[in-house]
Amino acid sequence: MFACLYLPAMPGHTGLKPCATAGHSGANKGEAPFAGLLEVARTFSPRVDAQSERTVTLDIDGVSRLFGDNQAVGARMRRAAADAGLGPVHVAMAATRTAAMLLAAARAGVTVVPPGDEVAALAPLPLRTLEVFSPENRPATFSSAENRPATFFPSKNRPATFLERGREKGSRSIFECDKGSRSVFDPAALAVLARWGIRTLGQLAALPAAELSGRLGQAGLQWQRLARGEDPGPLVPARDEETFDATTELEWPIEDLEPLSFVLSGLLEPLCQRLERRDRGAAVLHLQLRLVTKDTHARQLQLPAPMRDPKVLRTLLLLDLESHPAPAGIDRVTLCIDPTPGRIVQDSLLTRARPAPEQVSTLLARLGALMGESRCGSPALVDSHRPGAFAMTPFRVTEDGTDNTRLKPCATADHSGLQLEGSMVRSGTGLQPCVTAKAALRRFRLPVPARVLIDQGRPIQVRTDRPGLTGGQVSRCAGPWRTSGEWWKTKGASSVSGIEALWGLAGWNRDEWDVALGDGGIYRIFEDRVSGRWFVDAVID
Amino acid sequence: MSAVCRADVEALLRTRKLDRTLVPFGSPGAGTPPAPLTMATGVAELDRQLGGGFPLGQFSEIVGPRSSGRTSLLMQTLAAAVGRGELVALVDTFDMFDPESAAAAGIVLSQMLWVRGEACTPASPLVASRQSRAEHVLSRSLKALNLILQAGGFGMVVLDLTEAPAAALRRVPMTTWLRFQRVLEGQEAVGLILGAAPLSRSAGGVTVSLAPGAGRAARGFEGRVFRGFESDVRTARARLVPGLTDARTRLRISA
């Protein structure tokens, strides 16, 4: 048995008065009747489905044991709605939700239809009653985005509306059909029926189905099934919004991380169990620590992938607090989790298992605490000709290995493209061919100042003050190779020192030389053409 | 009698968890030890020289003086690993890694975890205590390496110690390397240490030594642009496959 609560649109009464029992103070006006109707319905049954902005259906099987017969239940529902400030609502009860909805839309007060009498009860209702199913009366969240009222349109900074939150993936309203539902419940078909002289639902229900289908297609059949009170699908209860937060008051203030880790474990474990039950993962962790100074120390962790392992989350929080400790003792801990659908991973027997995002996140957090957050990640090239320019990007592991891109062919040596040269080397094991690799640089992140002697325009000696890089006589050299750029960053020649250019704060203008020194090393040195100073930039290794 | 003594020694080593240092004994009648699983370096000749590549679950070394081509060889090895879909990690102790060179070598940079150490430069305010500063930086790098090894999931983990002062390296306790080896063994990963001299290869690992080739300067510095140099690559130690020891090849490194 199903019941339907219908809130009619009455002149002078919009039903938009905020509902005291709704408990959504932040909800906008358009959500108030929704929340109120759902709250009223939930006081009678947990199996509730919001069908439209003014219509809620609920399964009332077994409710009579608590509240009396159906008539009494209906009267109680009306009273509860009135107490909630919703005004007079229509209540109808029938064996199908469709019949209950049509009756509630058409008749005021309480209507109870015994099982099996739905068609007869619906027969005298006017055809326009079916407009309750038309797209204009659908809930804003079910309509197309263009038809949504502004108040219901989801915004980035606003939580999802009550219906949006209640809708789980896979559930659907009585209105909703498969793709193309717009054509199935086409209001134009109702207009055609009206032109045919069909005035009541009984007349529509009595039409021969084959003839109706031949003229109106599936839309006609769908409207006819509704006119007969048949449900297009089972009731899928709307779930209430579930928040994942927990708070604990501490008897004594905590100042160290070790006792705090126990507190966090106590908060995280039940939260993660709830996440698991709902097949959810944490997308963002919000930690609020109320301090003894009455200040609040808030931290927010954006997780790279949905996680619900309490140990991992606790470790990440602790590592973050190591880097950003609370300035005073903590007397209250509040933890809030933004949930997101759980991660579904399809492993393969044919590819190497990749580390889980939990592992990577923990590793990166530990490395960040040890080395500095900006010093761990993946290198990335930047769109610049500045020598040694690069950027750091977060290191991420993709589940499907799509980043596991195939090896780009090396410039000079790859698996298949090894250049085997003709020269041979005699060794203890025989002759071996000579193979080629690409030269790599080892850059001094801050170039080492050098003293360079020049003879006939070429460097002949390089000396530095750095231990282990004393330099020596230049045995061979190649250059100069002039390079410059980002001149627009240079405010004026007089204000530019070599250091500014080296740090990327100004443009660069240099002559580069590759020199082989007496110590056996091959170096890239350059002369800054603005300051005239020499530097050792890199080792060719 | 000798067999009894050998069994005793092995039992003692096992007790102290040093049994991985044992080398299969090729006595007559004993079966040929199974070849270790390896990871190719991407340089075919060197793979042949190493019996397939660097052994999995072991720490190996690439050593050589400055400008011997050790970094170039490392880049080739990393590129080959990334090309097979492995994740790689580089602990860059003194922050000298050049992403441009890596990209040119074929490394997909997004597949690489780069942990940047701290450059000990003359600009550092602690230049007076550079030695202790180097030890501090080295200590942090070793901790970072330990974290990466403990996390697992990487196909190749590299520790770059090329610019580390020898005195600082000597102060690293031997047990540190043993601990790393313990963590790595059993993983399908290669540990690589890049250094100036052999330091911490594990028992089953190999040491690849590079030295500048003769006459390289004359060929590389013709014209205005440096064209490259040559390097002799020698398998210095490979205890699990003794026949490979002292194999050589020549690596031409083009700029």
Q: What are phi and psi of A412, to 5 degrees?
A: -130, -20
User: Which pLDDT belongs to residue A274?
Assistant: 92
Beta bridge partners of B206: B238
CATH of A244-341 given 3.30.1490.100, 3.30.230.10, 1.20.120.330, 2.60.120.380: 3.30.1490.100
**Cα dihedral A20, A23, A29, A35 sign:** negative
What does the alpha-carbon distance between residue B230 and residue A193 come to, in Å, rounded to a whole number? 89
User: Model confidence at A498, in pLDDT bands (50, 70, 90)?
Assistant: low
Task: List Cα–Cα distances, B160 to A521, B61, B88, in angstroms.
Answer: 18, 10, 13
Do B17 and B119 have their domain in common? no
B195 and B113 in a single domain? The answer is yes
Token pair belonging to A299: 């931290």
- Amino acid at the residue A174: I
- Are residues B80 and A407, on separate chains, in Cβ contact within 8 Å? yes
Note whether A404 contacts B85, CB cutoff 8 Å: yes
CA distance B233 to chain A (A): 10
- Spell out which residues of chain B touch residue A520, defining contact as CB-CB under 8 Å: 65-67, 212
Give residue B129's pLDDT. 61
Residue by residue, what is the 3-state secondary structure of A461-498? EEEECCCCCCEEEEEEEEEEEEEEECHHHCCCHHHCCH
Looking at chain B from residue 211 to 250, which residues have their Cβ under 8 Å from any Cβ of chain A?
Answer: 212, 217-218, 220-221, 223-230, 232, 234, 246-250
| Cβ contacts of A127 within 8 Å, gap of 6 or more | A190, A193, A194, A198, A199, A200, A201, A203, A204, A227
The pLDDT of residue B121: 52
Q: Please check whether residues B167 and B75 belong to one and the same domain.
A: yes
> Does the pLDDT of residue A178 top 50, yes or no?
no
Mean pLDDT of A412-427: 34
Residues B162 and B107 in one domain: yes
Question: pLDDT tens, A504-540?
Answer: 667 888 999 999 988 888 999 999 888 889 999 999 9
Q: Are B236 and B245 in contact (CB under 8 A)?
A: yes
Quickly count: other Cβ atoms within 10 Å of residue B24's Cβ.
14
Gap between the Cα atoms of A9 and A221, Å rounded: 29
φ/ψ (deg, to 5) at A183? -80, -30
Identify whether residues B195 and B92 lie together within a single domain.
yes
Within this chain, do residues B117 and B128 fall inside the same structural domain, yes or no?
Answer: yes
Q: What pLDDT score was predicted for residue A158?
A: 34
Distance from CA of A403 to the nearest CA of B (A): 7
Asked if A408 lies within 8 A of B228 by C-beta distance, the reply is no
CA distance A94 to A115: 6
**Are residues B67 and A522, on separate chains, in Cβ contact within 8 Å?**
yes
The answer, yes or no, to whether residue B95 has pLDDT greater than 60, is: yes
Does A314 or B213 have the greater pLDDT score? Answer: A314
The ranges of chain A annotated as CATH 3.30.1490.100 are: 244-341
From A376, A436, A441, residue closest to B252, measured CB to CB: A436
Average pLDDT over residues A42-54: 84
Give the residues across from A433 on adjacent strands.
Answer: A424
Residue B187: which CATH number?
3.40.50.300
Give Dmax (Cα) for chain B: 70
Q: Count the domains in chain B.
A: 2
Do B19 and B139 lie in one domain? The reply is no
Which residues of B fall within a CB distance of 8 Å from A413? 42-43, 76
To probe the interface with B, which of A442, A499, A512 has the most B CB atoms within 10 Å?
A442
Q: B105 near B83, Cβ under 8 Å?
A: no
Mean pLDDT to the nearest integer, A385-407: 71
Contact assignment for A393 to B114 by CB distance below 8 Å: no
A393-414 mean pLDDT: 53
Matching residue, tokens 């231990």: A467
Q: How far apart are CA A129 and CA A499, in angstroms?
A: 80
pLDDT of residue A285: 92
Instruction: Indicate yes or no: CB of B232 within 8 angstroms of CB of A425.
Output: yes
**Chain B residues within an 8 Å CB radius of A403:** 108, 110-111
Do B7 and B132 lie in a common domain? no
Q: Which residues of A touch B72 (CB under 8 A)?
A: 437-440, 541
Nearest Cβ partner for A407 among B43, B45, B83: B83
0.90 surpassed by pTM: no
Check CB contact of B152 with chain A, cutoff 8 Å: yes
CB A125 within 8 A of CB A106: yes
Which structural domain range is residue B239 located in? 35-254
* Mean pLDDT across B206-230: 77
Residue A412 confidence (pLDDT): 36
Is residue A202 a contact partner of residue A126, using CB atoms and an 8 Å limit?
A: no
Residues B29 and B39 reside in one and the same domain: no
B212 and B99 share a domain? yes
Please state the rounded mean pLDDT for residues A95-119.
91
Give the model confidence (pLDDT) of A244-282 as tens digits: 999 999 999 998 899 999 999 999 999 999 999 888 899
Most confident region among A472-486, B70-84, B218-232 by mean pLDDT: B70-84
If you average pLDDT over residues A204-221, what whole number do you get? 88
Pairs of CB atoms within 8 A across A/B = 291
Q: Has residue B126 got a pLDDT over 90?
A: no
- Residue A399 pLDDT > 90, yes or no? no
pLDDT at A488: 80
Which chain A residues contact residue B153 at CB under 8 A?
353-355, 359-360, 397
Tens digit of pLDDT for each residue in B2-50? 666 777 877 787 777 666 666 555 544 455 556 678 888 888 888 888 8
Same domain, B168 and B89: yes
Q: Quick check: A172 pLDDT over 80? A: no
Give the model's pLDDT for residue A121.
92
pLDDT at residue A143 above 80? no
Min distance B6 CA to chain A CA atoms (Å): 32
Window B:35-54, CB contacts with A under 8 Å: 40, 42-46, 49
What pLDDT is recorded for position B148?
A: 94
